[in-house]
Amino acid sequence: MANLPQILAYGVILGVFYGLVTIGLSLLFGVMKYLNIAHGSFMMIGGYACYWLFTLWGLDPVLSIPLVMVLMFLVGVLLYRLLFSTLSKVSEERRINSSLIMAFGLILILDNSAIALWTTNTKFLRTSYSDTTFNVQGILIPLTGLIIMGVTILAIFGLYLFLSRTYLGKSIRAAAQDWEAASLLGVNIDRTYMICCGISIALAGLAGTCFTLWYPLGPTYGMPWVTYAMVIMVLAGMGNIKEVFIAGLIISVVEQVSSVVIGSQYRGIASLGMFLLILVFRPQGLFKK
């Protein structure tokens, strides 16, 4: 119990990162009803792009974020044009089922492409500040954790301004509520969906860049994180965007506390057990109205 403040501090940082991993997936589902379970693989590709920029050109991971996000945005636009655009006018049920099947194929393509390009060896990205920590009232706060939190807050604030203050952002919100009515009112649904898909993949790239600051990188490391994202998205309510950070904090704190109470090897069981209880008693999610 003496280490509880330290554990909770790490839980908050990890919970914010969970939210960052989830928000792109939740945005795509909330607006387009596409269940892109290849989100973790795109996150992994973003991490490798950051790794390449760091090892080949010496570009700091934080400074590489704009480049990675632009690159992944273009990948998202291309993904929509080549694949997801075929589903833009079908029913929501068919969108979910078809996008799920497409995403399985994307996972195989992306993971095997990563193996061909970067091999199966685990990559480590070490910067001059990787081991830097701050002592705040006896609680050790890693600098990389503060960077992840800062980047996440900026990204979410920027996304909020885009969705609430711009015409295109309002078009995305309108398409999320009723794409047929929005189309009748003059919203270009095809362009709106394309931009939304690009933003979702760009956010996956941002999460992948932050991932390299804390974790080793491998070609199959995306799937565990998309599993977390799915759990958090269900906990927040399918399609809810703002609430994913609260859900991420809940999952993270539960895991951190359970690692002390019942052992670190059972931390995943605690969060999964809570997930199953929510599915049984409140399948619409904790925050779904």
What's the rounded mean pLDDT across residues 69-94?
90
Q: Name which residue leads in pLDDT, 204 or 248.
A: 204
Reply yes or no on whether the pLDDT at 112 is more than 80: yes
Residue 221: CA atoms inside 13 Å, Cβ hemisphere, count? 23
Q: Beta-carbon neighbour count of residue 60 at 10 Å?
A: 13
Reply yes or no on whether the pLDDT at 34 is more than 60: yes
When pLDDT is cut at 50, 70 and 90, the band that residue 1 belongs to is: low
pLDDT digits (tens, 9 = 90+) for 117-132: 888 888 888 888 888 8
pLDDT digits (tens, 9 = 90+) for 164-203: 889 999 999 998 888 888 888 888 999 999 999 999 999 9
What's the rounded mean pLDDT across residues 54-67?
92
pTM over 0.85: yes
Any bridge partners for residue 135, and if so which?
140
When pLDDT is cut at 50, 70 and 90, the band that residue 11 belongs to is: confident
When pLDDT is cut at 50, 70 and 90, the band that residue 261 belongs to is: confident
What's the rounded mean pLDDT across residues 39-55?
93
- The CA angle 194-197-201, to the nearest 5 degrees, is 140
Confidence at residue 289, expressed as pLDDT on a 0 to 100 scale? 57
Residue 275's nearest CA partner among 219, 227, 220, 211 is: 227
- DSSP code, position 85: G
pLDDT digits (tens, 9 = 90+) for 213-245: 989 999 888 888 888 888 888 888 776 777 888
- Identity of the residue numbered 230: M
Taking the CA atoms of residue 30, residue 32, residue 34 and residue 35 in that order, the dihedral angle to the nearest 10 degrees is: -10
Q: What's the whole-number average pLDDT of the chain?
A: 87
When pLDDT is cut at 50, 70 and 90, the band that residue 264 belongs to is: low
User: 69 is written with which tokens?
Assistant: 């996000």
pLDDT > 90 in the chain, percent? 39
Confidence at residue 81, expressed as pLDDT on a 0 to 100 scale? 93
pLDDT > 70 in the chain, percent? 97
pLDDT digits (tens, 9 = 90+) for 249-258: 888 888 887 7
